Each structure stands twice: as structure tokens, then as C-alpha cells.
Amino acid sequence: MALSCGIVGLPNVGKSTIFNALTRSAAALAANYPFATIEPNVGEVAVPDERLRVLQDLVNGERVVPATVRFVDIAGLVRGASAGQGLGNAFLSHIRETDAIAMVVRCFEDDNVTHVEGSPDPARDIEIIAIELALADLATMQRRVEKLEREARANPKMRPQLDAAKNLIAALELGKAARTFASGTLEHEVAAESFLLTAKPLLYVANIDDSQIGKPGPLVDAVRRIAEAEGSRIVVLSGQIESELAGLSEEEAREFCHELGIERSGLDDLALAAYDLLGLMTFLTAGEKEVRAWTIAKGTAAPQAAGKIHSDIERGFIRAEIVSYDDYVTYKTMDAMRSAGRLRSEGKDYIMEEGDVVNFRFNV
Ligand SMILES: Nc1nc2c(ncn2[C@@H]2O[C@H](COP(=O)(O)OP(=O)(O)O)[C@@H](O)[C@H]2O)c(=O)[nH]1
Ligand SMILES: [Mg+2]
């Protein structure tokens, strides 16, 4: 299963606008690749990668296939969701199925668009969502503690698990997210095993109006302060502008960005940030037929990376011939890379690095 990033937030903050722009621009930019929407609310989005075009020029590649990241548009969460308000637990279970969270925070003012709480207030709006997620996790952990207490009575070895679960409850009651426990701690492990919502990595999306482009107002500052305090990332974009950009050709979009004084679409920033948040990285293949970015989890070994291309390559793996992207661009031809000693031969224990350009050798 591909990892996915859920788009969450209060109703009417621009989640669907951003989701639709993401999937529409992906479809428009890569007409030769079946992106599109998998289900109405699940979309596969291209991860922008300048390196592909550079490699394409070098090897005279016919086409380019970018890496993708999967987004899920989740219906709005309201105050009381954990107690069944709105669609309540159905929303929460949709979030549970995702691997990371992009929380959209409304930073645009528009009297024509109702705000469920009256008017945008990022700190309060973020807190409402955070509290609902924490309350849902509390209920999960309370059931878990009951079970662990029975288990610990029969088997004292379960004691540390039980203690960790109780520590998680104490933290959640203080409004702290489970993700604040560092990886390597037992609390972190128990939280992941329990699929806690607040254990998922999170980034903030500040949805601004066009008047704030290039000069973000106090609402964005409020989101930024919260993100910084938590060590979370923030992406600032305008859902409305992005949905206009998504309908344009690449050329027109570049011109429009130029007029607005922005370098590129905020959606690119979002796709990149989500990719990183999910712990994903890219290796590259460069052939005449196709120059392609492949997605793997950080820390993946060469044979499993090969398996992304085809299970036969993983099964018959002999070695990986690798050049780093930078060397590829510097030396340009295989011969030059080889004589400069930049072409490495790596075995089955090699851990792939970002931007490795790879040719796998395998037995059929
Ligand atoms: N002014 C303004 N309106 C927006 C922006 N983004 C979304 N909207 C509007 O807000 C309303 C709710 O947006 P929607 O994406 O359906 O919100 P969701 O409930 O979070 O999925 C729609 O009428 C959008 O056109 C924005 O950046 N600026
Ligand atoms: Mg929506």
C-alpha cells in the first residue's frame, strides 16, 4: 500500500479546494501518466523534481515519470467529533488509515464563506482539531490500558508496556500529542502499535487569500508560531489561486506565478513537504525509453529498492551500479563516470541514498 497524507481541518477551510487543485494540476502536467483520482477523495500527486528533465536531456529520454505522493481529502472535523458530532468517528477512522496529516488552517477572510466557529482564529481552530484527535487517542489508550492490565497480571513482562501506555494517557490528558515521544522510546512504540492519530507526523497548511501573497498577515504568523513551537513544518498557499493555477498550461502558470511575484506553485511545496513527512525518498533510473523517479522509504536496501521496479529484479538481485545524480550531471557519460571512478558497484546490504541513479544487475 502506498503511504498517504490525509488533508484534515475544520469544515470550509479549503481542504477540497486544495485537494482538487493538487490532483488537477498533477493530471494536467503529466498527461502520459495515469495519475488522476483513485477514489473521489484519494489522489496521486506528482512530486516536482528538476532532476528528471536534466537527466532526460543527458540520455535523450523519451519520457519522464515523476515520483508520486498520495493525498486523501477527509471531510471536515468539528468540535465534538470524538464524541460522535458531525460524522464523528467515521472521520477519525479515515484519518487513522492515513500515514501523515496535513492540517489546513483557514487564514483567509471571506464573509461569503461560513466559518463554523464564526471567524478564523488559527490558534483556536488548530486547538479544536488537536483536542478531538487527542480525545480519540485517549479513548483508544484507555481500552489498551485495560487490556494491558489483564495481560500484566498474567505476565509481568508486560509491565513496561502498561507503564508506557499510562504515560501516553497522562500526556494526552495534558493536550500533548503522542508524536512528542521520541522514536526509540517505548511510548513511541506503543503509540504506533495503537495507530494513534496524534502519533502521525503532521504539517500545517496555512490557506491564505491572494492579498497575503508575499506578505503573510497575522493569521499566518499565528500558525507559524504554533508550528515552530512543535517543530512542525508549515506550507503557506492560497487554495483559490492554486485552483486557478491548476487549470493553466505550464507556460501560462509560470507567467501567472511571475505576475503574482511567487517562484512556483504552493502545491509543489505541499507535495514535497508531504513526501518528506512520510519518510519517503527518491532513486532515479535514466534510460532512453524513460527517465523515472522511484519512491522508497528512507533506509531501504538495494534489493528492496529494485523490487519497486519489478519483483523479479529483487529476487534475482546481483548488484546495483550506482552514480550519484551530481556525478551524473558532472561527468555526463558512462565512460567518463567509470574512468573517474564515480560508478559504484553496490551489493545487497547497500542502503540507497537520495538521488542515486541506478542500474540493477539481476539473474532472470
Ligand atoms: N476567499 C477564499 N476562498 C477560498 C479559498 N480556499 C477555499 N475557499 C472557499 O471556501 C469554501 C470552502 O472550500 P472547500 O475547499 O470546500 O472547504 P473544505 O470544507 O475544507 O473542503 C469554498 O467556497 C471555496 O471556494 C481561498 O484561498 N480564498
Ligand atoms: Mg471538503
Cα 166 off chain centre by: 30
Least confident range from 53-62, 175-184, 243-252, 297-306: namely: 243-252
Residue 235 Cα to ligand 2 midpoint, Å, equals 19
Q: What is the pLDDT of residues 320-340, one digit of tens each?
A: 999 999 999 999 988 999 999
Matching residue, cell 506565478: 257
The three-point CA angle 215-220-225 to 5° equals 125
Residue with CA closest to ligand 1 atom 19: 12
Measured in residues, the chain has a length of 364
- Tens of pLDDT, residue by residue over 252-270, are 988 988 888 887 788 889 9
The overall average pLDDT reported for the chain is 90
Sign of CA dihedral 32, 37, 42, 48: positive
Q: How far is the CA of 238 from the centre of ligand 1 (A)?
A: 10
- Hey, which of 7, 12, 104 would you mutate to test ligand 1's pocket, going by the most ligand atoms within 8 Å of its Cβ? 12
pLDDT of residue 85: 66
Contact between residue 326 and residue 313 where contact means Cβ atoms under 8 Å apart: no
Confidence (pLDDT) at 283: 97
Q: Are 134 and 177 in contact (CB under 8 A)?
A: yes
- Region 57-78: mean pLDDT is 90
d(C-alpha 283, C-alpha 22), whole Å: 23
List beta partners, residue 292: 65, 285
- The C-alpha atoms of residue 361 and residue 321 are separated, in whole angstroms, by 7
In the reported structure, the alpha carbon of residue 41 is separated from the centroid of ligand 1 by a whole-number distance in angstroms of 16
What integer pLDDT is reported at residue 80 of this predicted model? 79
To 5 degrees, how large is the angle CA 305–CA 308–CA 309?
110
Interatomic CA distance for residues 70 and 35, integer angstroms: 10
Query: Which residues have any ligand 1 atom within 6 Å of their CB?
Result: 9, 11-17, 76, 108, 110, 113, 207, 209, 238-240
Nearest to 6 by CA among 75, 106, 87, 78: 75
Say what the pLDDT of residue 189 is. Answer: 95
The CA 44 to ligand 2 mean position distance, Å, reads: 17
The model's pTM: 0.89
**Residue 30 or residue 192, greater confidence:** 192
